[in-house]
Chain A
Amino acid sequence: MALVQLRDISQVRAGDKGNTVNIALFAPSDELYRIFLREVTPEKVKAHFRGWIEGEVIRYEVPNLMALNFVCRRALNGGGSSSIRMDNLGKCFGTNLQRMMIEVGGK
């Protein structure tokens, strides 16, 4: 078992729709995709973004792209044209997720 930061083993892209942000997280291989499925749960993502995402986090699985798509509600201080944050369009949520450390290898 080893702890690895998502930054080193993933691609990401985030975007906004109203007050909702979605974060797409891409694995580089099937093996790592299966590990992401196990390790990057919506509960852990919600906890990772404590104080920043107020609503629920829903996870969609996209096996054909070896990707997970996290839809995060009430995440943007009201939405792009209403937010008083610097990152009012939520473009940096993907890199934020890449700070997460996960356990790789079998259990």
Chain B
Amino acid sequence: MKIVRIGAAQGFYGDALEPAIVSAKRGDIQYLAFDCLAELTMAILAKDQAKDPNKGYTRDITPAMQYLLPIAKDKGFKMLTNAGGINPEGALQEVLRIANKLGLHGLRVAVVTGDNLMGRLDELQESVLTLEDLETGEKLGTVKDRLMFANAYLGAQPIVEALKQGADVVITGRTTDTAQFLAPLIYEFGWSQEDWNELAQGILMGHLMECSGQSTGGNFSGCWWELKDLDLIGYPIAEVREDGSFVLTKPEETGGLVSVDTVKEQMLYEIHDPTAYVTPDVIADFTTATLEDIGPDRVLVRGATGKHRPDSLKVVMGYENGYMGQAMVGYSWPDALRKARAAEEIIRKQLQRRGWEYEEVHAEYLGFNSLHGPTVEEPQEELNEVYLRMTVRAKTREDADRFGRLFPYLALNGPPSLGGSFGTLTSRQLLGMWSTLIPREMVEREIKIRIEEVSV
């Protein structure tokens, strides 16, 4: 029976590379798939490219390819990544540069473009698309002049096409998190675009793999303290059969755990309606699937079902949305929380006195409510220390920057025992996200696949 072995290499921009190297060397894999892009990542890459037009792809593609390309050549596996981000062509050039340096002649690197809609928004709007936001229903006009990026989520098909054309490495921009994982299955098993149940299983596999360590023990909320060697966590590997059923596992002698309990948490991660997980390739129903422990670090997954893929694709745009100014000061026992509260009051009065107005002024107390907000009650026992963190939402960077300047005075003029002052934390640009749907045909007709071969 034919089995395709796929390894997960990366769950976000900045993820650890070592577990991917372990899977590459010892995982007996045919494909290594990366998911590098979150909404926040697109924003980071857009800011990157605004500073340098050659950038805009994830910079960790450089060390990843330096380590993994020679292993891939030796072991004969292919790599699929959406590291291209805002600038897939830039990522292609970087991979070619590395492959050249390593002397990997004959390596075929494909790039998929067409997801980036920044240059096409006027044309799209002329087609009577209002591009209204899915969350608020507002029309795009209100933020269009502040847009930093606009990308459609592509599915697996262009990656499949690149594999058919003989690519060893496929680089894309904004493909869905699952596309890199599903594509090899369509290519290897020859699934049609209407094999909905098989495609749904492929999407479920991709969803369990896309966050790397999050299905092998990372972020596990059960008996997390019992997990072994999280410092040497193994990234997931899927052994997929032609009917789409698969075993989720990880390389031997790595840390973490693959069990029904670790896997099921990832199954609902960032999912809304579990009966209708919408992707460009299929609408998947995860409520028909079963998970079964069939051995140490081996979970059998089967039974997800699929419905006809949607006629539209999701587009996510990011727009400039002001700046966050921030500052932090710590206070020690006794009365730590009371001191921190007094400091907040002083800052608020100073803001009023100076007439500095902000759209929002937010205060939270580290060690008490900074992660759970107003839903928590004040602790009964006295805290050993409390940090006051204050943030503001400002229209300009200047306004955000000057907020922090109020804090150093607290060291001498405020409540006693202030330590660890971060009055001058750098301001951060805020980006609003705008999600919309557009007819898939309008995106798909512009998709291009190009392969470059590393020559002698």
Which residues on A are within 8 Å of B, measured CB to CB?
A: 11-13, 15-20, 22, 24, 26, 48-52, 60, 62-65, 67, 69, 71, 73, 77-82, 84-87, 89, 92, 94-96, 99
The CA-CA distance from A47 to B246 in the complex, in Å, is 40
Besides the contacts A13-B269, A79-B432, what 7 more A-B pairs have beta carbons closer than 8 Å? A11-B261, A24-B268, A49-B375, A52-B374, A82-B433, A86-B371, A89-B40
| CB-defined A-B contacts under 8 Å, sample of 15 | A13-B266, A13-B269, A19-B135, A20-B272, A22-B271, A51-B373, A52-B373, A60-B272, A62-B268, A64-B286, A82-B321, A82-B433, A85-B373, A95-B371, A96-B376
Chain B residues near A80: list those with CB within 8 A: 38-40, 433
Q: Contact check, B431 vs A81: say whether CB atoms are below 8 A apart.
A: yes
Chain A residue nearest in CB terms to B392: A84
Chain B residues near A69: list those with CB within 8 A: 268, 271-272, 274
Q: Contact check, B360 vs A84: say whether CB atoms are below 8 A apart.
A: yes
Chain A residues near B432: list those with CB within 8 A: 78-79, 81-82
Which residues of B15-42 are within 8 A (CB) of A? 38-40
The CA-CA distance from A15 to B270 in the complex, in Å, is 5
Q: Contact check, A81 vs B374: say whether CB atoms are below 8 A apart.
A: no
Chain B residues near A99: list those with CB within 8 A: 372, 375-376
* Interface SS majority for chain B: mixed
Range of interface residues on chain B? 35 or more
Q: Contact check, B362 vs A18: say whether CB atoms are below 8 A apart.
A: no
Does B265 belong to the interface (CB within 8 Å)? yes
The CA-CA distance from A62 to B288 in the complex, in Å, is 9
The CA-CA distance from A89 to B211 in the complex, in Å, is 15
Which residues of B410-456 are within 8 A (CB) of A? 430-433, 435
Which residues on B are within 8 Å of A, measured CB to CB?
A: 38-40, 43, 135, 219, 221-222, 261, 264-275, 286-291, 318, 321, 324, 326, 360, 362, 364, 366, 370-376, 389, 391-393, 430-433, 435
Chain B residues near A73: list those with CB within 8 A: 135
Q: Contact check, B291 vs A65: say whether CB atoms are below 8 A apart.
A: yes
Chain A residues near B39: list those with CB within 8 A: 17-18, 79-81
Q: How far is the CB of A43 from chain B (nearest CB, A)?
A: 15
Q: Contact check, A64 vs B288: say whether CB atoms are below 8 A apart.
A: yes
Chain A residue nearest in CB terms to B286: A62
Q: Contact check, B433 vs A96: say whether CB atoms are below 8 A apart.
A: no
Chain B residue nearest in CB terms to A16: B270
